[in-house]
């Protein structure tokens, strides 16, 4: 099912014409209402009238996380205070929170985008949608919520945590969809197993998971553990929240709601645009947002764009799974390492759970790199022969993926901390040592 065929299945020319019209309006609106961005445009010698084609977007200056910090809390709001009806703030995974303001119109856009996402995941007004993203300043809870209400589903605003109660509601309310971070989905799947609940006893059809990077391997684990189809939902507070894009049944990238969010991929070093298919930093320009519009916002998320035809029928551009954030990238002994690469390796081993912790430190002027992983339930770290054989296979696979070795420590199942929101999987103590 498709929520808005006209937009989600528009032909290229129609979409591009609409994008250009909305871009021109956005740039003019931003120039007139956001003084710091006007200054940037003036410094770059570009005026709203210079935007004559979609490609002219490249003439416009970027907006960065630093711009948000410098204009904290509301310096980049474009609407009058009286028209702002809601604020959210980034969960502050990295750095200072970023405050976003929404007008009534913005909330409508958000509802529309998440409605498209939930419909893409097979949900409709007969569905029961259990939302276990955190409610509050974080956009996860209220973002999923506004979409669920827009499609007319029965909405259960659980918020995150209290796994036993989540399971009770899933059973008793016959929830058809479950929304939370992938790491919390895994925690709930383990909770089911512990309580001896077979996923087939539940009514779950779809999981709408996002807010943190996760691998295909993780998806398989969650789908098995919860007995549902898992969809990847992407978004960020600065742009609107979840619903910027959603994966479809093809699981080959996430369809971007490009009538509202115009994507570009740039080389984070040279800032030059990159062709489709090449990995770089994702940049978004909002089309139609009023409270907190963004022009060429550098997300720091790394992925690539795909424009080939998708079998689901949607014609919108897709973004590949997020590899990680440029800030998540660890440079260990000179080599770039993303936690998602480690997750991918771990997910290939049936002997391991997909929970892990990465420790990076410094000893004798050399980086240390340690990984803790859990053995699957039923396996024992005391079984020396088995563990040594496993160690050599895991070491080999990690070295193959990363190009450097890391010291692996095996733990018994269920010893690492479990996540209720965005998982913290890296402890890098090198900066502390430098000071
Ligand atoms: P922050 O985590 O920076 O405090 P947000 O709560 O707004 O702020 O989270 C947005 C960020 O979360 C994105 O920029 C991206 O890094 C990450 N994210 C969101 N959805 C996904 C997803 N589906 N896959 C990978 N990463 C995601
Ligand atoms: Zn598709």
pLDDT (tens digit, 9 = 90+) per residue, 179-204? 999 999 999 999 999 999 999 999 99
Give the Å distance between the CA of 244 and the centre of ligand 2: 14
pLDDT tens digit sequence for 13-68: 999 999 999 999 999 999 999 999 999 999 999 999 999 999 999 999 999 999 99
pLDDT tens digit sequence for 127-157: 999 999 999 999 999 999 999 999 999 999 9
Check residue 328 and give its pLDDT. Answer: 86
Q: Which atom of ligand 1 is nearest to the CA of 210?
A: 23
pLDDT tens digit sequence for 399-412: 999 999 999 999 99
C-alpha to C-alpha distance for 189 and 203, rounded to whole angstroms: 14
Q: Ligand 1, from 235, 240, 283: best to mutate by most atoms within 8 Å of Cβ?
A: 235
C-alpha to C-alpha distance for 124 and 139, rounded to whole angstroms: 22
Q: Ligand 1, from 89, 133, 137, 212: best to mutate by most atoms within 8 Å of Cβ?
A: 212
Q: Which atom of ligand 1 is nearest to the CA of 301?
A: 16
Give the Å distance between the CA of 322 and the centre of ligand 1: 9
Q: What is the mean pLDDT of the chain?
A: 96
**Residue whose CA is at the smallest distance from ligand 1 atom 9:** 236
Q: Please name which ligand lies nearest the alpha carbon of 421.
A: 1
Check residue 93 and give its pLDDT. Answer: 63
**Residue whose CA is at the smallest distance from ligand 1 atom 25:** 213
Q: Look at 267-281, 299-313, 419-433 and tell me which has the smallest mean pLDDT.
A: 419-433
Q: Is the pLDDT of residue 104 over 80?
A: yes
pLDDT tens digit sequence for 252-282: 999 999 999 999 999 999 999 999 999 999 9
pLDDT band at 91 (very low <50, low <70, confident <90, very high): low
Q: What percentage of the chain reaches a pLDDT higher than 70?
A: 98
Neighbours of ion ligand 2 (CB under 5 A): 248, 250, 310, 312, 314
Q: Which atom of ligand 1 is nearest to the CA of 91?
A: 4
Q: Is the pLDDT of residue 342 over 70?
A: yes
Q: Is the pLDDT of residue 434 over 50?
A: no
Give the Å distance between the CA of 223 and the centre of ligand 1: 21
Query: Which burial class, exposed, middle or buried, applies to 105 when counting CB atoms under 10 A from its CB (0-12, 13-18, 19+)?
Result: middle
Give the Å distance between the CA of 422 and the centre of ligand 2: 26
Which residue ranges have their beta carbon within 6 Å of ligand 1? Answer: 90-94, 138-139, 210-213, 232-237, 299, 301, 322, 325
Check residue 435 and give its pLDDT. Answer: 34
């Amino acid at each position: 099912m498709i929520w808005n065929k006209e937009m989600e299945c528009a032909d290229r020319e129609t979409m591009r014409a609409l994008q250009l019209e909305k871009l021109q309006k956005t740039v003019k609106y931003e120039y007139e209402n956001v003084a710091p961005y006007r200054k940037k445009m003036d410094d770059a010698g570009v005026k709203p009238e210079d935007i004559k084609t979609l490609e002219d977007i490249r003439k416009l200056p970027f907006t960065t996380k630093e711009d948000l910090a410098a204009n904290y809390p509301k310096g980049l709001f474009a609407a009058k205070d009286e028209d702002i009806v809601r604020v959210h703030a980034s969960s502050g995974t990295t750095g200072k929170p970023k405050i976003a303001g929404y007008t009534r119109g913005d909330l409508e856009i958000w509802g529309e985008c998440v409605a498209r996402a939930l419909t893409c995941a097979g949900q409709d007004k007969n569905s029961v949608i259990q939302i276990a993203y955190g409610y509050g300043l974080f956009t996860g809870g209220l973002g999923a919520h506004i979409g669920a209400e827009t499609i007319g589903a029965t909405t259960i605003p659980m918020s995150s945590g209290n796994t036993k109660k989540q399971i009770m509601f899933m059973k008793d309310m016959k929830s058809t969809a479950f929304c939370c971070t992938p790491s919390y989905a895994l925690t709930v799947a383990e909770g089911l197993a512990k309580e001896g609940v077979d996923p087939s006893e539940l009514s779950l059809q779809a999981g709408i998971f996002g807010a943190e990077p996760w691998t295909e391997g993780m998806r398989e684990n969650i789908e098995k553990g919860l007995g549902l189809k898992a969809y990847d939902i992407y978004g960020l507070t600065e742009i609107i929240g979840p619903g910027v894009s959603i994966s479809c049944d093809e699981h080959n990238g996430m369809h971007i709601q490009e009538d509202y969010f115009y994507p570009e991929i740039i080389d984070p070093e040279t800032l030059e645009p990159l062709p489709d298919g090449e990995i770089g930093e994702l940049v978004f320009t909002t089309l139609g947002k009023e409270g907190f519009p963004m022009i060429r916002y550098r997300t720091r998320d790394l992925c690539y764009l795909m424009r080939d035809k998708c079998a689901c029928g949607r014609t919108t551009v897709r973004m590949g799974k997020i590899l990680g954030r440029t800030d998540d990238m660890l440079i260990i002994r000179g080599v770039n390492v993303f936690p998602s690469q480690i997750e991918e390796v771990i997910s290939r081993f049936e002997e391991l759970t997909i929970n892990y912790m990465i420790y990076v430190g410094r000893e004798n002027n050399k980086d240390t790199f340690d990984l803790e992983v859990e053995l699957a339930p039923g396996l024992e770290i005391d079984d020396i022969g088995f563990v040594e054989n496993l160690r050599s296979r895991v070491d080999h696979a990690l070295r193959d993926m990363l190009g450097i070795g890391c010291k692996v420590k095996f733990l018994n199942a269920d010893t690492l901390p479990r996540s209720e929101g965005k998982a913290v999987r890296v402890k890098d103590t090198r900066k502390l040592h430098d000071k």
